[in-house]
Structure 1
Amino acid sequence: MAGIFGLFDFTKEGKGVYADEPPRSAFAMFFVLLGRKFWKLISINLMYLLFSLPILILSMFAANYFLAITVPVLTVDNLAQVLEQAGFAEFLQEGVTIEEFAATQMLTLFITLGVMITGLSLIVSGPVHAGVTYILRNYSREEHAFVWMDFKDHARRNFRQSLLAGLFSLLVTIVFVFNLAFYSQSAFVGNPYLRTILFSVMLILFIFWTIMQMYLYPMMVTFNLSLRQLYKNAFLFTFMRLPLNLLILIASLFIVFVLPLGLVLLGYGISVLLSILWVALLAFAVNLLMTNLFVYRAMDKYMIQRLNQTEDAGAELDDPALATSSDDETHDEATEEDEEKDAASSEGLVRSPNRAPN
């Protein structure tokens, strides 16, 4: 597929890197990759949007429902009343009522919340998400990727596991939303202090769950781990790097929610157009590039490098010239243990010695 001016050429190999190029920080590398892979990111975003369109529509309907049960006072009529009291009516175009304006703002909120829900990987098409994650993970470690071929291969390769992960994420997200709605209503929990405590606990747990989604799919396309092991590792990474994870989550919220919503709320035709173009061409790909870049560095430090060190140490002990008689029994026991189960680091992370990282 030759593409148009190279924009949709899914078979063209990306630009390489020099072997002696000094390592950059994750923050600097993000902007380097953003410039280097800009047109590829547009292709990836369009592909992600196309194949995730049914899920994105589902997210928008879910946003409508979630907002209704968590913030029941936020209705078109109430919003119209607030806007009228604030004096917005005199700024409206001729023929546009305050109720129509309020309805438009509510629709905008539902759409951007739907984009946010999918952008934060809470409601996704698992195979589509896995295929795109593989491409952007390769970009994160400065390796080329064939956009269409790698997307198709790894969406198919991780189809069952990613589909189950997507369904499980949907189920858990629904449970969290219902709990948040339940504990926010005085009719269900009369004590205001207890209600605040329970609501805060559920909100914090929901934030942790959202952070876990950032780690799930990069590990899925890199290691041969069960779904249970993937969630265990994602849980551990959430707390091991909590301050950085919170910063990444805030940045993700800005990319997939605050920026597009803010542009629309400015009310100018050009700002609305920019918001649409941002979501259609870049928002999902830029967000996933950022999360994959930071997540892969954590995976490399705590999983891949230590797994390689374990394998190298085992290879040295296998060499008769290097192994001493005093170490033979210990090595045999360690080798048998490695063959029986996945190795785990001191942090408790599960690795996959049965298959080298992809």
Structure 2
Amino acid sequence: MGLFNSNYSRPGPGVSKGAPKDNRFIHYWKIYGRHFWDLMKLNLLFAVPAIVVLVAGVIISSATRNILLAGLPFIALSPFVAGLTYETRNYIREEHVFVLHDFLKKLKENWKQFLANGIICYLVYEVLMIAIPFYAQNQQKLGSVISTIALGLSFATLFIFTSMQFYVPLEIVTFDMKLSKMYRNAGIFAIAALGWNFLGFFVTAFVLLLLYGCLYLGQYAPLFLFIILLLAIFLLWSFWAYTVNSLVYPTLDRMMIQPTLKKEAEERGEVPEEDLDPAFTDWDSIREDTDDEDDDDEEED
């Protein structure tokens, strides 16, 4: 058996329809434990471009002392998020994954939209990285009320936009529609599921602070560089993607996927609403249908 190959020829035990369901916390850890080694393989795939980009960012930052320029290499990392998102989503849905094959396939299929989203993220976050310190440091010049409001709006934008980024990658690998419509949907989800989005924001902040802290302390103790290197190679990226997608995927499923499935079932007249089961759905048909809807909208315009 190869490093990135898995044997799916043997059927699993299955789950009884009437069996009680685990709560989300227990379900999260069951799936994580079941696919731990697969997630480690996935992390290895993503770690290669991630480490290259991270090193490039550090080199540019050291050479130019300009954090805006240091962020440019991270745009090149965004297409690789396609494979990371698709495979962690499938683990959450308890669907089969061929780690290397699916990673490369989704990278090839979705790199344009992910790259466009990466450019948008770069522009938004760079503006926020300028705005937040500016309003925080110039309260006396601008006036405490104005600067406080502006600072609050900047932090609110940071939270909302980051929450939207939990959903946009999932939408790209699940549906075939314009990026503008995905952003509109993600904006709705960012407000509709504030609690889960806050947890996702906390996990994301923790990962970023862990990276920054180890890199900073690594200047004085090389052990921290060794620790963060091990985490980046074997665990960090897949853990983050799996955790965040576990938190937000149910919202996407409830507000976007299930309505689509019900509509299709009603149009076919084949499956009653109460019998719909997303585990046995032809997801490719959803991508095709949403693409057709976009084409219809263009014709109407």
2:49 corresponds, among 43, 46, 51, to 51
C-alpha distance in structure 2 between counterparts of 1:69 and 1:60, whole Å: 9
- Name 1:246's counterpart in structure 2: 198
- 1:238-279: CA deviations, max 9, x gaps? 000012210221123224434883798598876664443222
1:172 corresponds, among 101, 124, 128, to 124
Q: Secondary structure at the match of 1:284?
A: helix
Q: Secondary structure at the match of 1:145?
A: coil
Quote the offset at 1:280 in angstroms.
2.3
Contact conserved, 1:256 with 1:284, CA < 8 A, in 2?
Answer: no
> CA 1:259 to 1:68, structure 2 compared with 1: closer, same or farther past 3 Å?
closer
Contact conserved, 1:218 with 1:295, CA < 8 A, in 2?
Answer: no
2:243 corresponds, among 290, 301, 316, to 290
Contact conserved, 2:197 with 2:248, CA < 8 A, in 1?
Answer: no
Aligned positions, number: 271
Contact conserved, 1:214 with 1:295, CA < 8 A, in 2?
Answer: yes
Please give the root-mean-square deviation of Cα atoms over the aligned residues, in Å.
3.7
Q: How does 1:192-231 map to 2 (within 5 A)?
A: 192-231=144-183
C-alpha distance in structure 1 between counterparts of 2:87 and 2:9, whole Å: 11
Query: Match for 1:249: what amino acid?
Result: F
> CA 1:171 to 1:272, structure 2 compared with 1: closer, same or farther past 3 Å?
closer
C-alpha distance in structure 2 between counterparts of 1:134 and 1:253, whole Å: 22
C-alpha distance in structure 2 between counterparts of 1:209 and 1:14, whole Å: 42
Q: Aligned pair 1:163/2:115, yes or no? A: yes
Q: Larger C-alpha radius of gyration, 1 or 2?
A: 1
> CA 1:280 to 1:181, structure 2 compared with 1: closer, same or farther past 3 Å?
same
Contact conserved, 1:259 with 1:275, CA < 8 A, in 2?
Answer: yes
Structure 2 unaligned regions, length at least 5: 271-285, 294-301
Q: Secondary structure at the match of 2:138?
A: coil
Instruction: Tell me the TM-score normalized by structure 2.
Output: 0.76
Q: How does 1:243-282 map to 2 (within 5 A)?
A: 243-258=195-210, 261=213, 273-282=226-235
C-alpha distance in structure 1 between counterparts of 2:238 and 2:36, whole Å: 10
Quote the offset at 1:173 in angstroms.
1.3
1:9 corresponds, among 4, 8, 26, to 4
Contact conserved, 1:133 with 1:221, CA < 8 A, in 2?
Answer: yes
C-alpha distance in structure 2 between counterparts of 1:29 and 1:256, whole Å: 26
Instruction: Tell me the TM-score normalized by structure 1.
Output: 0.65
Give me the identity figure in percent. Answer: 27
